[in-house]
Amino acid sequence: MNSILKSGFAGLFATSLLSSAAMAGDLVINYDDLNPAPKAAFEAAVEAFKAANPDINVTVNNTDREAHKSAIRNFLTNDAPDITSWYPGNRMAPFVDAGLFEDISDLWASDANLSSKFNAIKPTMSRDGKQWGVPYSYYQWGVYYRKDIFDKLNIAEPKTWDELLAACGTLKDAGVTPFTIGTKFLWTAAGVFDYINLRTNGYEVHNALTAGEIKYTDDRIKATFANWAEKIDKCTPVKNHATMSWQDAIAPFANGDAAMYVMGNFSVSAYKDAGLTDEQIDFFQFPEITPGLARAEEAPADAFFIPANAKNKEDAKKFLAFIAQPDIQGEWNKTLGQLPPNSDASINTDDKFIVEGFETVSTAAGLAQFYDRDAPAAMAKAGMEGFQKFMLDPSKVDEILAELDKVQAEVYK
């Protein structure tokens, strides 16, 4: 009853669409980024695809990212497009498990690009040993810092934990807050947690944690939080971070009141919008904590998937193969300012952040997708609230971890 009512009312508006969309040769793509650069990059790729396949009639529905997140739950069953953007890792898991995404392992096996040029990212696109989507872009995370402040205080890019803590001490003595961050929307804190956990325990333990195989009260995770507490103590984050978004947190960074920011590469354009230049900002990899541990990085990918209810799967696969090509991926990510997952694709060598990012990601021993994509959404929400609480009061760590264990026991069933 419920589903029929729902589809009925969605359908009242969509009936006209349905009837026209059923013809062969039509390809409907749902995309979820209205920001200027991603939109332009996506549209350029679609135009290229149209030019290469004049017989396919491509329709694009581009929506806001948050709206897409809730809409996808309905349209996958009721009014599926032929291709939809979504995220790999655990974010795709519910849809894969409910049988709502099409298995495209055959494409991965047969396509020249997918079978050989995507090895680094293939595990992220896989679940149950099959592949479910094709990534078009990803980007590195790391520490962005004020090079001019570092130079003025004679601080070199820290390579180890001790060097980082020492740098923080120097900065504080000079009246500069070491780190800026805005945790109002929670996820920024997860970036810091991910890195400290990846550097303390390594990729395997981090993965096991987000997959629900080890508890939050595990000694190894407690060690991570002990390191984090040390960082909060010695590398004090800006005050009031709980009321700031990640964009708000750029203000003290741009003003020179704070010197470092653990962020993703998408933030660079925002620094530049805030008036900073390439000479004033730079990037370093998050420093080593446990010596000798294989270095893993955060590199969230964006991908396209074929819904199981798609009407035109043949052309959808054609599109996925098309966007896996090195030149398309190269162009796309030059516009986007991100990294192409295809290892043959060229990168924008004029952008020092892209060059460093490519170096960082391509030499990493493992790629994490970011906490809120690696962990199931329900766990991620509780986890990130816990991280924010921890950042506001590190002494509550035991209470927080016990609480997360409870949620974990509930969510991974």
Partner 1 sequence: MASDASLQLNRTSSNVPLVAVSLLVVLIAIGFMVNINVDNVMSTFEFEKRSEARVPAFMFRISLLIIALVAGFIAIINTGLYKKNKIAFSPWIFLSIGLVFFSIYVIIPIFQSISYSFTRWDGLYDVNGVWTGEWIGFHNYIVLWDDPKFWTSLWNNVLWLILFMLAVPIGLGLALFLNQTVRGIRIYKSLFFFPFVISQVVVGLIFAWAYNPDFGLVAEAWGFFFCEQSVNIVGNVTTKCSIDPPSILGDEDYATYGIIAAGLWPQIAYCMILYLTGLNNVAHDQIEAARLDNAKGWNMLRFVILPQLKPATFIAVVVTVIGALRSFDMVATMTQGGPFGSTNVLAYYMFDQAVGEGVGRYGYGSAIATVLFAIMLVYISYFLFRMYQDEKEGR
Give the binding site for partner 1 (CB under 8 A): 1-5, 7-8, 11-12, 14-15, 18, 22, 69-70, 73, 76-80, 91, 94-95, 98-100, 146, 148-149, 152-153, 174-176, 183-186, 239-244, 248, 251, 255-257, 308-309, 311, 377-378, 381, 385-386, 388-389, 392, 403, 406, 410-411, 413
Nearest approach in angstroms of CB 62 to partner 1 is: 19
Nearer to partner 1, 146 or 334 (CB): 146
Nearer to partner 1, 79 or 282 (CB): 79
Residues in the chain: 413
Beta partners for residue 307, in sequence order: 101
Nearer to partner 1, 162 or 398 (CB): 398
Tokens of 189: 């804190």
Nearest approach in angstroms of CB 226 to partner 1 is: 20
* Contact between 334 and 34 (Cβ < 8 Å): no
How large is the C-alpha radius of gyration of the chain? 22
Q: How far apart are CA 178 and CA 400, in angstroms?
A: 25
Buried b (16+ CB within 10 A) or exposed e, 104-139: beebbeebebbeebbebbeebbbbeeebbbbbbbbb
Nearest approach in angstroms of CB 61 to partner 1 is: 17
Nearer to partner 1, 132 or 203 (CB): 132
Nearest approach in angstroms of CB 39 to partner 1 is: 22
Nearer to partner 1, 48 or 93 (CB): 93
Nearest approach in angstroms of CB 174 to partner 1 is: 6
Nearer to partner 1, 290 or 412 (CB): 412
3-state percent helix, strand, coil for the chain, nearest multiple of 5: 55, 15, 30
Nearer to partner 1, 50 or 184 (CB): 184
The answer for residues whose C-beta is within 8 angstroms of residue 57's C-beta and 6 or more apart is 23, 25, 26, 27
Nearest approach in angstroms of CB 69 to partner 1 is: 5
Nearest approach in angstroms of CB 44 to partner 1 is: 29
Nearest approach in angstroms of CB 156 to partner 1 is: 17
Q: How far apart are CA 413 and CA 411, in angstroms?
A: 6
* Contact between 256 and 150 (Cβ < 8 Å): no
Nearer to partner 1, 309 or 342 (CB): 309
Beta partners for residue 296, in sequence order: 366
Which runs of consecutive H residues, i.e. helices, occur in 53-176? Answer: 65-78, 93-97, 105-110, 112-116, 122-125, 147-152, 161-173
